[in-house]
Amino acid sequence: MARRGPDRASFARELEPALRGRTREDRKMLFVGVLNRHMPEGREAVLVGGALVEFYTSGAYVTGDLDIIGDRDAIVPLLESAGFFKSGRTWWNTDLELVVDIAGRDLRRTETVVAVEFEGFTVPTVSLEDLIVDRLLAAKYWKSPTDWEQAVLLLTAHESRVSVGALKQKAAANDVGDSLRELTKVVGSDGPGTSPTG
pTM above 0.75, yes or no: yes
**Cβ-count burial of 188 within 10 angstroms (0-12 exposed, 13-18 middle, 19+ buried)?**
exposed
**For residue 6, what pLDDT is reported?**
57
DSSP annotation string for 37-87? HTSPTT---EEETHHHHHHHTTTSS--SSEEEES-HHHHHHHHHHTT-EEE
Residue 132: pLDDT over 80: yes
Distance separating alpha carbons of residues 127 and 52, to the nearest angstrom: 10
DSSP annotation string for 149-186? HHHHHHHHHHTTTS-HHHHHHHHHHTT-HHHHHHHHHH
118, 34 Cβ separation under 8 angstroms:
no
**For residue 107, what pLDDT is reported?**
86
Q: Greatest CA separation found in the chain?
A: 52
Sign of CA dihedral 77, 79, 85, 91: negative
**Nearest partner of 150 among 164, 168, 162, 137, judged by Cα:** 137
Give residue-wise pLDDT tens across range 13-38: 999 999 999 998 899 999 999 999 99
**Nearest partner of 30 among 43, 45, 40, 15, judged by Cα:** 15
Give residue-wise pLDDT tens across range 144-197: 999 999 999 999 999 999 999 999 999 999 999 999 999 999 998 654 555 555
Give residue-wise pLDDT tens across range 139-149: 999 999 999 99
DSSP annotation string for 90-133? EEEETTTTEEEEEEESS--TT--EEEEEETTEEEEEE-HHHHHH
Question: Can you tell me whether residue 34 is helix, strand or coil?
Answer: helix
Give residue-wise pLDDT tens across range 34-76: 999 999 988 899 999 999 999 999 989 999 999 999 999 999 9
**Cβ-count burial of 154 within 10 angstroms (0-12 exposed, 13-18 middle, 19+ buried)?**
buried
